[in-house]
Structure 1
Amino acid sequence: MATVVLVRHGRSTANTSGILAGRLPGVELDELGREQVARAGERLAAVPLVAVVTSPLERCRSTAAAVAAAQLTQPAPAETLDDDLTECGYGDWQGRPLAELAREPLWKVVQRHPSSAVFPGGESMAGMQSRAVSAIRRLDRAVEAEHGAGAVWLAVSHGDVIKSVLADALGMHLDLFQRIRVDPASVSIVRYGADRPEVLATNTVAGELSWLAAEKAASTATVGGGAGPRAAEADPS
């Protein structure tokens, strides 16, 4: 089983200005965002990433480049762009202030019943989840086939996209995905097994992750929860 590390882009200029950036070009990381992604790179520096796949939007590409540049154990692979990891197609909502959008009737649908939400001139949230989950699972199979079951790879994307992937991995209906929080430059970790996905972490913004390089994936869930990653790291076998 390969392991995917899901990283949201760092804080962007649109985040700080309260604008729904969507797929607008030219939206980059702000100063804090650059600091955030540098920290994410430091956290993952000791984890050998065999592939780096990113949304094609600038804020994600900058994030992926920063994480890849921090790799210590091997030269980082070149970033690969995948359109299926791009931001939700917000259509006519794109580029508008969030405070203004919050007064729209659709806002409540997005909050309470996102599976029914279709952005005018854009994408449905269900469609976003479908293409994102399909992409992550497709890429994960390809990574495992090429690099083996212990491989770890990086996917850099956007808040709603990562939330929808985590909701799927957790077996949650899309209408519950607003219960999941994904902060800028946060790290979430999923491993897709034969029986089910295993969510190793969500929305972490601090703490070292070197244990991920040494952890051995189990084929089934351990009854009682197991001893945790440190035991796997200490196991000499």
Structure 2
Amino acid sequence: MSVLVGLVRHGAHDDLGTWLSGRTRDIALNAAGRDQTAALARRLAGRGIAAVHTSPRRRTVETAAILGQGLGLTPEPQPAWDEVDFGAWSGARFADLEGDPAWRHWNAARATAPTPGGETMAAGADRALAHLHRLAERGGGGPVLCVSHCDVIRGVIARVLGLGLDNILRFEIGPASVSWVLSHGQGTAQVLTLNGTE
């Protein structure tokens, strides 16, 4: 059994580029984010989307709600797609984190670097990837949208492509983008498209 999965990053919000929102700053979408997401819903109409799964954070729930409304679906919360638990870094300003050697190490060595009291990049990527494979093993129905966060989606894409997690900053996952992955279950999948915003 295989399933087509659209990995959707939440729409834009006012923390982008300034704060590491993480699981602490439960920020809402801004007007641009709502518009981006509505445009994505229009692009996805007619594609036979069967379900919308979402991280429990406010920005992803709002994104999923807009998609669901446009596609006639009720989003389903799925903790597997939650943001990486950044521990003590969650809710900090990026400008403040830049002076932290541990933060610089994290960004240079995502495969092995720890977070202060949170989870590893590997743990975040692997829990989401396991859910993606379960979708295929469950079988049936059309494509599924999974609304999540930049690092989680990057981690899943890296795992599917066989890239080390140290390389995830080499590709972009923009707000309200969709990356399509075909999951065959049993730990196998293919990346079909990346960071689609048009």
8 Å contact kept, 1:4–1:140: no
Counterpart residue number, 2:44: 44
Paired amino acid for 1:178? L
Counterpart residue number, 1:89: 85
1:185 matches 2:160: no
Farther-moved stretch of structure 1 (159-168 vs 21-30): 21-30
Cα deviation, residue 39, structure 1: 1.1
Cα deviation, residue 158, structure 1: 0.2
Paired amino acid for 1:4? V
Counterpart residue number, 1:164: 155
Give the secondary structure class of the aligned counterpart of 2:16: helix
1:99 matches 2:95: yes
Listed one character per residue, the Cα deviations across residues 96-151 of structure 1 (whole Å, up to 9, x for unaligned) are 10011122112222222101121102111111112121122123322x2x42xxx2
Q: Distance in 2 between matches of 1:106 and 1:139?
A: 36
Q: CA RMSD in A?
A: 1.6
Cα deviation, residue 26, structure 1: 3.4
Decide which of 141, 157, 164 is 1:173's aligned counterpart. Answer: 164
8 Å contact kept, 2:133–2:184: no
Listed one character per residue, the Cα deviations across residues 180-208 of structure 1 (whole Å, up to 9, x for unaligned) are 210110110000237942211101110xx
Cα deviation, residue 4, structure 1: 0.1
Aligned residues: 196
Q: Distance in 1 between matches of 2:101 and 2:26?
A: 29
1:123 matches 2:119: yes
Counterpart residue number, 1:228: none
The within-5 A match list for 1:1-237 is 1-15=2-16, 18-24=18-24, 26-71=26-71, 75-76=72-73, 78-142=74-138, 144=139, 146-147=140-141, 151-193=142-184, 196-206=188-198
Structure 1: gaps spanning 5 or more residues: 207-237
Cα deviation, residue 25, structure 1: 5.3
Q: Distance in 2 between matches of 1:11 and 1:179?
A: 21
Cα deviation, residue 35, structure 1: 1.0
8 Å contact kept, 1:192–1:198: yes
Percentage of matched positions with identical amino acids = 35
Q: Distance in 2 between matches of 1:26 and 1:125?
A: 20
Q: Distance in 2 between matches of 1:35 and 1:5?
A: 19
8 Å contact kept, 1:10–1:34: yes
- Which structure has the larger Rg over C-alpha atoms? 1
Bigger RCO (CA 8 Å, 6+ sep): 2
The 1:168/1:42 distance shift into structure 2, 3 A limit, reads: same
Q: Distance in 2 between matches of 1:41 and 1:176?
A: 30
8 Å contact kept, 2:60–2:147: yes
